[in-house]
Amino acid sequence: MTELRIAAVGDIHLGEDVRGQYRKHLEGIEERADVFMLTGDLTRHGTLEEGRLVAEELRGLPVPTIAVLGNHDYHSDLQYEIAAALRDAGVIVLHDDGVVIQCGEVKLGVAGGKGFGGGYAGKCASEFGEREIKNFVAHTRYIAEAWKVALKEMTADLKVVLSHYSPVKETLEGEPHEIYPFLGSYLLAEAVDTAGADLILHGHAHKGSEKGMTPGGIRVRNVALPVIGRAYAVYCLGENGHC
Please state, for a pLDDT cut of 70, what percent of the chain lies above it.
Answer: 98
Please provide the DSSP assignment of 184-208 as one string. Answer: BBHHHHHHHHHH--SEEEE---TTS
The residues, ordered by sequence, that sit 6+ positions from 28 with a Cβ below 8 Å of its Cβ are: none
Q: What is the pLDDT of residue 238?
A: 86
Residue 241 has pLDDT above 60, yes or no: no
Question: 131-157, pLDDT tens digit by residue?
Answer: 999 999 999 999 999 999 999 999 999
Mean pLDDT value across residues 100-115: 97
When pLDDT is cut at 50, 70 and 90, the band that residue 123 belongs to is: confident
36 contacts 234 by C-beta, under 8 angstroms: no
pTM as predicted: 0.96
> How high is the pLDDT of residue 2?
77
Over the stretch 178-226, which tens digit does the pLDDT of each residue have?
999 999 999 999 999 999 999 999 999 999 999 999 999 999 999 999 9
State how far the Cα of 32 lies from the Cα of 77, in Å rounded to an integer: 35
Confidence band, pLDDT 50/70/90 cuts, at residue 99: very high
pLDDT-derived band at 124, boundaries 50, 70, 90:
confident
pLDDT of 242 higher than 70? no
> Is the pLDDT at 80 greater than 70, yes or no?
yes
Please count the other Cβ atoms lying within 10 Å of the Cβ belonging to residue 83: 20
Average pLDDT over residues 44-50: 98
Q: What gap in Å lies between CA 42 and CA 1, rounded to an integer?
A: 32
Q: What is the mean pLDDT of the chain?
A: 96
Q: How much is the average pLDDT of 33-53?
A: 98
